[in-house]
Amino acid sequence: MRSRTPRPGWLAGLAVVAATALTATSAAAAPTAPAPTAAPAALAAAPDIPLANVKAHLTQFQSIATANGGNRAHGRPGYLASVNYVKGQLDAVGFTTTVQSFSYNGATGYNLIADWPGGDPNAVLMTGAHLDSVSAGPGINDNGSGSAAILEVALAVARSGFAPAKHLRFAWWGAEELGLRGSRHYVNSLPTAERARIKQYLNFDMVGSPNAGYFVYDGDNSDGVGSGPGPAGSAQIEQTIQAYFTSIGVPTRGTDFDGRSDYGPFISVGIPAGGTFTGAEGIKSSAQASLWGGTAGQAFDPCYHRSCDTTANINDTALDRNADAITYTVWTLGGTGTPPGSTVWSDTFETATGWTANPSGTDTATLGQWERGDPAATSSSGVTTQLGSTVSGSYDLVTGAAAGSGAGAYDLDGGVSSIRSPAITLPATGTLTLSFSWYLAHLNNATSADYLRVRVVGTSTVTALTVTGAASNRAASWQSAAADVSALSGQTVRILVEAADAGTASLVEAAVDDMAVTQS
């Protein structure tokens, strides 16, 4: 994490020295650390990150610094060796890696970008940490801790076979300590369309401070501190991270987007951001010590930007908890992809699933309103107006299920009736199709003002079916409909079914059955 006042540009004129990457201890071979406090079943999809694996990466960063003048700073050989180490780990498990170079203070810096194959390329979840240290020391907490944690999370993606709905991208930034130079270069060099594809950015800078606090970037300004909330969508990140810490009984506090780390360039262009932080040179208060333990009156990291920021300068408990919080956040926000050709959602109406009649309170129909029911057959003048049979099972959605003393006893009368589905979360990828069966029946006293309409409503609306009446007899007969609703991908939507006897008084009946959303 950079200082509030960046250090002078002493690196001017220094050339990059190519370094031979140290032989890495395989993370997979590292012994497994004891499991942390178990999270609830709802969080079980995200794997546990072995602390020993994360610490093995920190050992490598320490060895790299020791072999290269005691640091891993911008323009120094220890930084390039760190990039080579992380890149080698990612290349070995199938990530597509790109090394992006930039210049600052007369030296070449590097960002390492790693993309996991799959997921929606138009919905990128990006996770980053700065990889450089200051010149004064090896930078194991600042920010080997964040770099090692997100590296192990990326490796866990590969080990687990996680197939998220969003496209996952990880980044290790250069020259953060000199003013966010690497992340700023990356964001500023992105075309506008590419920026728009990054839906959320997660930043982890110092997650193992020895006198640790548990801070979460205040995405919605709920703590009322500092410069205010992040871009829309930042609150979701904050709430997701908080949910993990709540599950393990660890209280968190908000920390402001104060511009000291690599979220800065992202929020400046409107990309939602968030992350965790265990504290830097700030002093832990008595209240914070009571909340989290540790020593009041002492810095969260007494070795901040000093030569003593070594592998001995790590709080294992904080590092372990934060690594697992990162994993949970990536798994949760990344979403679970639905296998192509599978059913995303379906309803045969054989059980009550939470459909709501007259959801907006604006219906005008006085009789025969929509309901889930076991329909009775009705007919008039030899015309079947309501089917007593459904497409499957015994129930459907129907206007006035009862027969009554005649065909007109429970038909739709007086205006519009509507019924709305429970919330449906659509996957972010693939072609999405809503399919269902339907009929609209009426006698020759109907008009074109009478109708059956099915719409899917999210941030926009897709009309799946509109059928209007006419001055003719139309017998009830099940028909099939299908509509592409891919325009609503990744949204939480509801299906709205409406019918109207909106012209002159007429005999109108409608029904729908066997609704499903599928992905291909």
Out of 152, 176, 238, 498, the active site residue is 176
3-state helix, strand and coil shares in percent for the chain, rounded to the nearest 5:
25, 30, 50
The DSSP secondary structure of 317-339, one letter per residue, reads: HHHHHHHHHHHHHHHHHH-BPPP
Whether residue 194 lies in the annotated active site: no
Neighbours of 395 (CB within 10 A): 19
Q: Which two tokens stand for residue 82?
A: 């760190």
Question: Does residue 316 sit in helix, strand or coil?
Answer: helix
Query: Exposure of 446 by Cβ count < 10 A (0-12 exposed, 13-18 middle, 19+ buried)?
Result: buried
d(CA 232, CA 17): 42
Burial 189-216 (b: 16+ CB within 10 A, else e): ebeeeeeebbbbbbbbbbbbbbbbbbbb
Q: Tokens 């006085």 map to which residue?
A: 366
Sign of the CA dihedral with 247 first, then 253, 258, and 261 last: negative
Instruction: Spell out the SS3 assignment of 105-140.
Output: CCEEEEEEEEECCCCEEEEEEEEEEECCECCCCCCH
Q: How many whole angstroms separate alpha carbon 358 and alpha carbon 244?
A: 38
Q: What are phi and psi of 63, to 5 degrees?
A: -65, -40
Question: Could you give the residue numbers annotated as active site?
Answer: 176
